[in-house]
Structure 1
Amino acid sequence: MITSILLALINGGCISICRIINGRLGQETGALNASLWNHLVGFGFLCLVVWLMAATSGSSASIAATLDAPLLAWTGGIIGALFVTLNSYVLPRLGASLTALLVIGGQLLTGVALDAMSRGVNAIQLLGVLLILAAVWLTKRSG
């Protein structure tokens, strides 16, 4: 459990760094070009990693299983590309902190809505979302 928590925290740092880098690239080339290069370089990197993992394990079963995934599962790539594009556009205009707070607020609202549809929501979850949104409002108000 601790390893998963640490990995999630590291992932959050990676997302913040990626947003800043893509936001800077977006200023120079435009949000769509920044997203395109982000995904092309990421695609090349992941191809290399998957190829190395398949070569060392001697199995390509994971690639075949991916091709059998339901159509809805493939929409994650579209949403990921949209996420990078929107961040590349918004971050230079709002700054890293406010963008991060708004993105986290959006993630929390979406998570609570999805939980509500599948298994219900408790008061602590709603309070957490309200605190994040209050932080966004305070940040925006003080700026």
Structure 2
Amino acid sequence: MMTLVIFLALLNGCCISFCRVLNGRLSQDTSAFYASFGNHVVGFIFLSLVVYFTSTVPVETIMDAPVIAWLGGVMGALFVALNSYVLSKVGATLTVILVITGQLLTGVVWDAISNGVELTPLLGILCILMGILVTKRGQDQKANIKG
């Protein structure tokens, strides 16, 4: 079972990367907000069909969720719009590294609030920040060679 979960998590990561690249490309032709809008319209249609054909949970139960739970949709839309904009400016690799770093920082803060600060996650974030610097420096050197 754990192998399946790991595979699904890796597949999800691949889907996120493809989604970022496609939305970044779409934002070049339109704007980050149009790309986000298109992403969410298509996603809504797709998930509506999935829920319609597979769900055993009554739709009415969704109204039982607390109001704050609905902010996840706002954050998701903001994520797609910001990601589309940033990707079109700095490229896929740096965007992914920065987004993952932001996710890790948020996770460390949440964990620190609930469980106290641990050294290992902080060292992991430090390694990622070093990777960002190396990646950015490499991109700058490529630009200088071409320019």
Q: With structure 1 as the length reference, what TM-score do the two structures score?
A: 0.92
> 1:31: which partner in 2?
32
TM-superposed deviation, 1:64: 2.5
TM-superposed deviation, 1:60: 3.9
Amino acid at match of 1:84: V
Distance 1:121 1:4, change over 3 A: farther
1:5 aligns with 2:6: yes
Structural RMSD (CA): 1.1
1-structure distance, mates of 2:50, 2:27? 27
1:134 aligns with 2:130: yes
Q: Please, which runs of 5 or more residues in structure 2 have no aligned partner?
A: 140-147
Distance 1:120 1:85, change over 3 A: same
Decide which of 72, 77, 80 is 2:73's aligned counterpart. 77
Q: With structure 2 as the length reference, what TM-score do the two structures score?
A: 0.89
Amino acid at match of 1:116: A
Q: Please, which runs of 5 or more residues in structure 1 have no aligned partner?
A: none
2-structure distance, mates of 1:115, 1:66? 28
TM-superposed deviation, 1:31: 0.6
1:117 aligns with 2:118: no
> 2:142: which partner in 1?
none
The number of residues matched between the two structures is: 138
2-structure distance, mates of 1:118, 1:138? 33
Percent identity between matched residues is 56
Q: 115-124 or 13-22, which moves further after superposition?
A: 115-124
1-structure distance, mates of 2:6, 2:125? 20
Matches within 5 A, 1:32-51: 32-51=33-52
2-structure distance, mates of 1:60, 1:18? 28
1-structure distance, mates of 2:57, 2:71? 23
What are the Cα deviations for residues 65-111 of structure 1, in whole angstroms up to 9, with x where unaligned? 22110011000000000000001111011000000000001000011
Amino acid at match of 1:91: L
1:19 aligns with 2:15: no
> 1:101: which partner in 2?
97
1-structure distance, mates of 2:97, 2:22? 17
* Greater than 4 Å deviation, 4+ residue runs: none
Distance 1:23 1:48, change over 3 A: same
TM-superposed deviation, 1:119: 1.3
